[in-house]
Amino acid sequence: MFSLQAVSKTFPGGTKALDNIAANIAPGEFVVLLGPSGCGKSTLLRLLAGLELPSSGAILWENNQRPAAGEVGFVFQDATLMPWLSAYGNVYLPLRLRGVRQAEATPKIQAVLAQMGLAEFADAKPKALSGGMRMRVSIARALISEPALLLMDEPFAALDEFTRHRLQDDLHALWRRTGKTIIFVTHSIYEAAYLASRILIMSPRPGQIAADISVSIPEGGERRTSAAYTNLVANITHTLHRIMPHE
Amino acid sequence: MNRWLERLAPIAFGIIALSLWQAAVTLSGVPSYIVPGPIDIWHAYLDSYTILNPALVSTLTVTFAALAVATAVGVALAVAMAASSLFRAAVQPWAVTLQVTPIVAIAPLIILWVPQPFVALVVCAAIIAFFPILSNTAAGLAATPQDLQDLFCLNGASRWQMLFLLRLPSALPNFLTGLRISGTLALVGAVVAEFVAGSGGFASGLAYRIIEASYRLQIPLMFAALIMLGISGIFIYSALGLLERFLLRSRDA
Ligand SMILES: Nc1ncnc2c1ncn2[C@@H]1O[C@H](COP(=O)(O)OP(=O)(O)O)[C@@H](O)[C@H]1O
Ligand SMILES: [Mg+2]
C-alpha cells in the first residue's frame, strides 16, 4: 500500500514528534499503532492523510500515486459530526463535496447506514443519537466514498466498555469482509490485541517504532477469551515494559 | 407552579413599584412638572399618542435599518477577516478604534456630511451597533472545529464549500448572540443620533420628542416617550432571543 521511508516530523515550535519512522504496509493489513499519549500517533496519521508534510523522509505510495481526495477515509477521536445535519446529511457530505447528486448518492448512503446498523436513524440529528451511534455515523461517513485506506485516530476511546466492544466487533467484521487497509491508533493494549493483524508499538517522544508484532489469532470462537488473545496481551505488555522502563 | 410564580414575579413587582410611585407622588404633593406619577404619564400618552406612536415607528425604522446595515457590514467584515489574515491585521485595529470612540463625538460630523437625515441617522446607529456582530461572528468562524476543517480538506472541498457548508453554519450561534446585543445597541444608536441631530435631523423620532418636551417642560410627555423606548428595547432584546432559540433548536434537533 505504502512505505514510510525514514519519516521524521519536527513542528515549527521545535517539538520533535516523529523520528526516523520506517515501515512497509501491505494492502489489506489491519495495522494498529499503539503507544502512550504524545508519542506522535496522530501526527503519523495526519502525514498519511496528507494533512501535514514530513520534515524529512518520504511516504512512497503503491504505483507512485498518493490517494486522491476522498480515497482516504478518516475517523477522528470525537465523532465530529455537523450538529445541523441529520445522520443522512453527515454521511452524504463527502459525496456532496465532490458534486455527487443527492438522487445518485441516496441508495449508497442508505446501504452504508444500514451496514452500520443505523437504517432507522437516517433522519436523526446528532444531538438525538447516543455516543456509540454518533461514532457509527462517523464511520459510515468515512466509508461512503469506498476508500481503500481507512485511518482511525482513537475512535473508540471516549465510548463506554460495552459500546466499545460492539463497535470493535463490527469493525473487525467489516475489515474481514472488505479487506480494506486500516491504520488504527489506540493507547489500549486490549483494543490493539483484539483488532490488529499487525501491531506497531511506538516509543515516547520523539516517536519511533519500538516493536513490530504480527498477529495471528484464529478467527471464529470467542476471540476475547481465546488463549491466543491472552498470550498476545501478555506479549505486548512485556514489550511495553521493556521499551518504557518505570521511572 | 413555581415556574408560573417566577413568570409572574416581574409583573407583580412592576405593579407594586408603580403603585408605590403613584402613592409617593400623590401623598407628597410633588407637582407633575417635576416628578409625574404613572397616572399623569398615562394621561400624557393618551393626549399625545397621535404624535408619540408615529414617533416610535420612526425611531424603530431607523433602528431596524441600522441593524440590517450592521448585520451586512459585520458579517461581511468577519468573513473577510476569516479568509485573509492580512485583511484581519489591517482592519481589526480600526474596527476596535471605531468601537471605542464615543459615537456622540462623531455623530455631528456624520450628520453634517450626509445630506439625507434618514441615512445619517442610520449610519450613526449602524456604527454603534455593528461591533458585537462583527466580533461574535469572527469568533465563531475562528472556532470552527479543526477536525471538521480537516475532513473538508481531505474530501477536496473548495474555499467556498468550506465557507458556506462549514464555517458560516458553525458560526451561526455566535452570530445570533451578536445580533441580539447589536439589536439593543441599534436602538441606543438611533436615539443618540436623533439627540445629536436635533431639529437638523429627521425631526420625528421619539428622542426628538423627548428634547422637544423638555424645552416645553412637558415632563409627563417626556416620561411617556422614555417608557416607550424602554419597552421597545425589551421587546427587541426578547424577540431576538426567541429568534435565536427557535433557529438553533429547529436546526439542531
Ligand atoms: N500542530 C502542532 N504544533 C506543534 N506541536 C504539535 C502539533 N501537533 C502535535 N504536536 C506535538 O507533537 C507531539 C505528538 O502529538 P500527537 O501526534 O498528537 O501525539 P499522540 O496522538 O500520540 O498523542 C506532542 O508533543 C504534541 O504536543
Ligand atoms: Mg492523538
pLDDT in tens, B123-146: 999 999 999 999 999 999 999 999
Q: Flag the least confident range among A75-79, A150-154, A240-244, B20-24.
A: A240-244
Which pLDDT does position A246 carry in this prediction? Answer: 63
Q: Which amino acid is at A69?
A: A
Measuring CA to CA, which residue among B12, B11, B38 is closest to residue B224? B38
Q: Could you tell me the distance, in angstroms and rounded to a whole number, from the CA of residue A98 to the centre of ligand 2?
A: 28
What mean pLDDT comes out for the span B226-235? 94
Question: A221 by DSSP, 3-state: which?
Answer: coil
Q: What is the pLDDT of residues A117-134, one digit of tens each?
A: 999 999 999 999 999 999
Ligand nearest to the CA of A46: 1
Q: Please compute the mean of the pLDDT values over residues A5-21 and round it to a whole number.
A: 90
Look up the CATH architecture of domain B41-252: Orthogonal Bundle (1.10)
CB nearest B252 (choices: A78, A83, A98): A83
Chain A to chain B Cβ contacts (< 8 Å): 56
Q: Of A157, A172, A134, which is closest to residue A77 (Cα–Cα)?
A: A157
Residue of A nearest to B159 (CA): A97
Contact predicate B200/B117, CB 8 Å? yes
Nearest alpha carbon to residue A69 among A43, A46, A98: A98
Per-residue pLDDT for B99 more than 90? no
| Distances, alpha carbon B57 to alpha carbons A29, B65, B152, B229, B237, in Å | 71, 12, 47, 11, 17
In which order are the strands placed within the sheet that holds A30-34? A72-75, A149-153, A181-186, A30-34, A198-202, A209-214
**What per-residue confidence (pLDDT) applies to A247?**
53
Q: Are B166 and A94 in contact (CB < 8 Å)?
A: no
Q: Tell me whether B159 touches chain A (CB under 8 Å).
A: no
pLDDT, residue B1, reads: 65
Per the structure block, which three cell numbers stand in for A4? 514510510
| pLDDT for residue B248 is more than 90 | yes
- Return all residues near B41 (Cβ < 8 A) that are at least 6 apart: B220, B223, B224, B227
Q: Say if residues A201 and A243 touch (Cβ distance below 8 Å).
A: yes
Q: Write the pLDDT tens digit of every residue in B41-82.
A: 999 999 989 999 999 999 999 999 999 999 999 999 999 998
- Residue B18 CA: distances (Å) to CA of A72, A163, B253: 69, 60, 42
Q: Do A70 and B157 touch (CB under 8 A)?
A: no
What does the alpha-carbon distance between residue A96 and residue A90 come to, in Å, rounded to a whole number? 10
For residue A218, is pLDDT > 90?
Answer: no
Average pLDDT over chain A reads 91
Instruction: Verify whether ligand 1 is closer than 6 Å to residue A205 (CB atom).
Output: yes
Least CB–CB distance from A84: residue in B147, B151, B252: B252
Which residue of chain B comes nearest to A85, CA vs CA? B252
Residues of A with CB under 8 A from a CB of B: 46, 49-51, 68-70, 72, 74, 76, 78, 80, 82-84, 93-94, 96-98, 125-128, 145
Per the rule left: phi > 0, alpha: psi between -120 and 50, beta: everything else, B76 is alpha
B202: closest CA among B114, B128, B130, B126?
B114
- Is A17 near ligand 1, meaning CB less than 6 Å away? yes
| Between residues B204 and A61, the one the model is more confident about | A61
Provide the pLDDT for residue B200.
63
Name the region of A100 (left: φ>0; alpha: ψ -120 to 50; beta: rest).
beta
Lowest mean pLDDT among A24-28, A195-199, B33-37: B33-37
Q: Is the ipTM of this structure higher than 0.85?
A: yes
Spatial CA neighbour of B211 closest among B200, B199, B202: B199
Model pLDDT for residues B153-206, shown as the tens digit of each residue: 999 899 999 999 999 999 999 999 999 999 999 999 999 988 888 766 566 889
Whether this model's pTM surpasses 0.90: no
Chain B residues within an 8 Å CB radius of A83: 252
Query: What is the model's pLDDT at position B202?
Result: 64
**Stretch B221-247: mean pLDDT:** 94
In percent, how much of chain A has pLDDT > 90? 66
d(CA A81, CA A92): 12
For chain A, the domains span 2-67+148-243, 83-146
pLDDT at A242 over 90: no
- Among the partner residues B151, B161, B252, nearest to A74 by beta-carbon distance: B151
Question: Which pLDDT score is estimated for B203?
Answer: 65
Mean of the per-residue pLDDT values for chain B?
Answer: 90
For residue B92, pLDDT over 70 is answered with yes
CATH of domain A2-67+148-243: 3.40.50.300
Sign of the Cα torsion B26, B31, B37, B39 reads positive
Question: Residue ranges of the domains in chain B?
Answer: 41-252
CA distance B148 to chain A (A): 6
Average pLDDT estimate for A103-116: 94
For residue A99, what is the nearest residue in chain B, using CA coordinates?
A: B157
Give the 3-state secondary structure of residue A73.
strand
Percent of chain B whose predicted confidence (pLDDT) is above 90: 62
